[in-house]
Amino acid sequence: MRKKFNKKERYSNGIAVVHLDGAIMPKIPRRPSMGSITPKEIIDDLELARDDKYIKAVLLSINSPGGSPVASEEIADEVKYLRKEKPVVGLFRDLGASGGYLVASACNELVAQKTSIVGSIGVLFGKNTYYELMRNLGVGHETFKAGKYKDLLSPHRDITDEERALVQKMINTSYDHFIDIVSRNRNLEEEAVREMATGWIFLGEEAKEKGLIDYVGNKQTAVERCEALGNFEHDKIVEKPDKSKGLLGRLMSPSTMSEIAYAHGQGIADTLSGKGEDRYILF
């Protein structure tokens, strides 16, 4: 038997708040999260809210720049599964971009503040190279491989035109899949989504005009939509106990710029140390 969403609180018509904060990434052993979130963390909370009979709706609070396509889609699939039983309303705070928007699109309805950043539908992939720097420093490198493309992402050589075309084909496939998901989840024409899918971002009012969200409002708006969709009056907004309120938790709390800085710095460090295997396409 599953535990209550929050066993310290008493409620009979609760609205569970699930937080999607930070970059969405798969779990990588021995690497600090620096505020990123894994599918398991969110899915565990969604399942707990689904199984708690005293939770009548879920408010998914989103503040994410996106991340791994697979990880984002895993969370979105769980949101769609949950909404078969209980309403799920997404609330954008500062940022709901790329993979963060993909997850949000699976909700019954979406609410954003006037200055929330929404959208950035697109796909990103890249690699670092430093072979020219090494050559200028008189440093050589040899690669032994079996498989024509095995060292395609090696920083020790440039990418060929043939390889560039293969990578772009893979990116385009992921891009089309992203557009298809948003189109189906938001009940929008595919061409309309494609026109917006430039990687650009929209503030609340424009996002509503384009059909990316349903309401411009705040947390209270999202709560009211939970009640309307579930046909109930709530007696408690239920948060899970926050385990990160110590000094370290506050210092390590996610922000868009810190996530970007970490990702960039980690990429350089991995490349220089020969640990560059963990490369991802990013939504």
Six token digits for residue 71: 């990880």
**pLDDT per residue rounded down to tens, the chain (283 residues):** 557 888 888 899 999 999 999 999 887 654 555 568 899 999 999 999 999 999 999 999 999 999 999 999 999 999 999 999 999 999 999 999 999 999 999 999 999 999 999 999 999 888 888 778 878 888 888 888 888 888 888 888 888 999 899 999 999 999 999 999 999 999 999 999 999 999 999 999 999 999 999 999 999 999 999 999 999 999 999 998 655 444 344 444 444 444 444 444 444 444 344 444 445 577 7
Is 220 a member of any domain?
Answer: yes
Query: What is the spatial distance between Cα 103 and Cα 178, in angstroms, rounded to a whole number?
Result: 11
Is 94 a member of any domain?
Answer: yes
In single-letter form, the type of residue at position 101 comes to Y
Q: Map tokens 């295997």 to a residue.
A: 277
Query: What is the spatial distance between Cα 239 and Cα 15, in angstroms, rounded to a whole number?
Result: 9
Q: What is the CATH number of the domain that holds 223?
A: 3.90.226.10
Is 283 a member of any domain?
Answer: no
Q: Map tokens 């971009």 to a residue.
A: 97
61 is annotated as an active-site residue: no
Alpha helical stretches, state H, 31-160: 39-51, 69-82, 99-104, 131-136
Is 109 a member of any domain?
Answer: yes
Query: What is the spatial distance between Cα 235 and Cα 146, in angstroms, rounded to a whole number?
Result: 63
Residue 216: its H or E element:
strand 215-216
Is 281 a member of any domain?
Answer: no
Which residue among 27, 40, 53, 150 is the active-site one?
150
Helix, strand, or coil here: 128? coil
Is 211 a member of any domain?
Answer: yes
245 is annotated as an active-site residue: no
Is 95 a member of any domain?
Answer: yes
Q: Map tokens 């430039």 to a residue.
A: 198
Total of domains in the chain: 1
Instruction: Give bridge partners of residue 97 from the DSSP assignment.
Output: 119
Domain range for 238 = 14-273
Which residue among 36, 68, 72, 98 is the active-site one?
98
Query: What is the spatial distance between Cα 197 and Cα 210, in angstroms, rounded to a whole number?
Result: 12
